[in-house]
Chain A
Amino acid sequence: MRIACPFCGERENGEFTYLGDAKPKRPAMVAIDGGAGAPGEAEAFYDYVYLRDNFAGEMSEYWYHGGGCRSWLVIERNTLTHDIKSVRAAPGAGAAKAGAK
């Protein structure tokens, strides 16, 4: 398989590491001051940490270009054909060119 890193161009998959489904979003960090966290957070984390769909077809996935530019990527890939539809950088890769905070 070959992956077109948005920063480096097309590379062989040996330069990349697979993480998994990019759909689940980590519940936000919350303010804690000696008290409890957010209501329902245990369930939210249970979903985030453990519940995964088993895709036969297109899914978006996290990949890490660790053998190259160390960018995290979000890749839309078909698990049946290995065809890659899109590759984009994670929001924090290239943050210096994003708008100043």
Chain B
Amino acid sequence: MADFTWTTRSPLQQAVIAGRHGAAIAKAGIRLSEIRDFDLVQVFARRGQWAATAKAAKAYFGVAAPTGPKAVTGKKGVLVWSGADQFMALSPRLGTIQPVDGLRGVFEGFASLSDQSDGRCLIRLSGPRVREMLAKVNSLDLHDGVFPIGAAATTSIDHTAVNLWRDADAPDGSPVFNVLVFSSFADSLWHTLVDSAAEYGIEVETVSIAVD
């Protein structure tokens, strides 16, 4: 009998090449990173069960589930609003248990759960020129006064549906945007992002959510 190893491969493995890309500008205008090693579960409240779902989420994550386009951070992860009655629970990968199994007891009878840990890639965009770059691929107004830290949106990038939310600012004061994109589109979307960012100079890195 042969031995089998189960090496994981990110859909972005080929596309993400760490280091500097694009225009040779002293300080990269854009920082692009793939965030790996997360669990992601779609929590979809059942008919008439929003209050119970929210209560369960509060008890488990330590934060009220978002009722509108927001991303909130609790002790066990980030809850990102993803549509009416729904949110995505993003947390560092446990590995020991399937993500849905870990939450089943929490939401039993209140909400339907769907594992999306492999269904999405998580891309983080930052840097002083990040808003100009995102303006090339997304139609939202990401101005500080309109899209503050914690704002979230279900929207499209390059005709591909994404979850976009704004994280705390980077140490250099640049805004930070997270994008969850369907895995099969990730390679293509990454190239589009790199093309859009190239004129500003890009710094690419890969980050594990566990050490982030």
Q: Which residues of A contact B (CB under 8 A)?
A: 7-9, 11-12, 14-15, 66-71, 89, 93-101
Chain B residues, Cβ within 8 Å of A7: 68-69, 83-84
- Are the C-beta atoms of B156 and A68 separated by less than 8 Å? yes
- Are the C-beta atoms of B83 and A70 separated by less than 8 Å? yes
8 pairs across A/B with beta carbons < 8 Å?
A8-B153, A8-B154, A11-B155, A12-B139, A69-B84, A71-B83, A96-B49, A100-B48
Residue of B nearest to A65 (CB): B154
- Name A66's contact: one of B45, B49, B85, B161 (CB within 8 Å): B161
Minimum distance in angstroms from B120 CB to a CB of chain A: 15
Chain A residues, Cβ within 8 Å of B47: 95-96, 98, 100-101
B158-195 interface (Cβ within 8 A of A):
159, 161
Chain A residues, Cβ within 8 Å of B155: 8, 11, 15, 67-68
Report Cα–Cα, A29/B167, bound state, in Å. 47
Residue of B nearest to A71 (CB): B84
Residue of B nearest to A90 (CB): B84
Assign chain B's interface to a size class: 20 to 34
Chain A residues, Cβ within 8 Å of B45: 96
Report Cα–Cα, A99/B46, bound state, in Å. 11
Report Cα–Cα, A98/B84, bound state, in Å. 11
Chain B residues, Cβ within 8 Å of A9: 69
Chain A residues, Cβ within 8 Å of B139: 11-12, 14-15
- Are the C-beta atoms of A101 and B48 separated by less than 8 Å? yes
* Among A67, A70, A93, A99: residue with most chain B CB under 10 A: A67
The 0/1 profile, CB within 8 Å of A marked 1, for residues 122-134 of chain B is 0000000000000
Report Cα–Cα, A30/B206, bound state, in Å. 55
- Name B156's contact: one of A67, A89, A101 (CB within 8 Å): A67
Report Cα–Cα, A18/B37, bound state, in Å. 38
Report Cα–Cα, A11/B46, bound state, in Å. 27
The answer to whether the Cβ of B53 comes within 8 Å of any Cβ in the partner chain is: yes
